[in-house]
Amino acid sequence: MTISVGDRLPEATLVMMGADGPQQVSLTERAKGRNVVIFAVPGAFTPTCSSAHVPSFIRTKAGFDAKGVDEVICVSVNDPFVMKAWGEATGATAAGITMLADAASEMTGAMGLAFDAPPVGLLARSKRYALQAQDGVVTVLHLEESPGVCEVSGGEAMLAAI
């Protein structure tokens, strides 16, 4: 079943690069008592993700801060080393966006948002979406129809919705 507005974020463990290497991040604990915006992409370094999705959140990060969003998080089914390099390459890390790896597709699968595109080597990847969660409950959800499009899930659309 696909996650919907009013649902709780699933129990899932993500991974981020810390000063001493990969660190486990509990999605439930990260969102508890906080206002977070999460956007997910099919893959780091892929065309639409790099040229449209991440840049839209870099452009709008200050607007989210002004609206009381505690953290903007980018999630992809990649390893934490790739997510760190991608965050640095795109400027997302410097902009204050948290880059989290859903390495085992645990969060993506639990949310019912996984898809496969074997011809391009994408397996158990995340559909493209953006959501706002307050204290772990989804309050806004913008899900793209196609993984190659970034319209309703972009930073500007999310900022306008919250």
Lookup result for tokens 């970034």? 150
Dist CA 83 CA 48 (whole Å): 16
Residue of 38, 40, 49, 75 marked catalytic:
49
Active site residue 74: no
Contact 43, 49 (CB under 8 A): yes
CA angle at residue 48 from 14 to 161, to 5 degrees? Answer: 70
12 Cβ contact list (under 8 Å, min separation 6): 26, 27, 28, 102, 106, 107, 110
CA atoms within 13 A on the CB side of 35: 9
How far is CA 24 from its chain centroid? 16
- The set of catalytic residues is 49
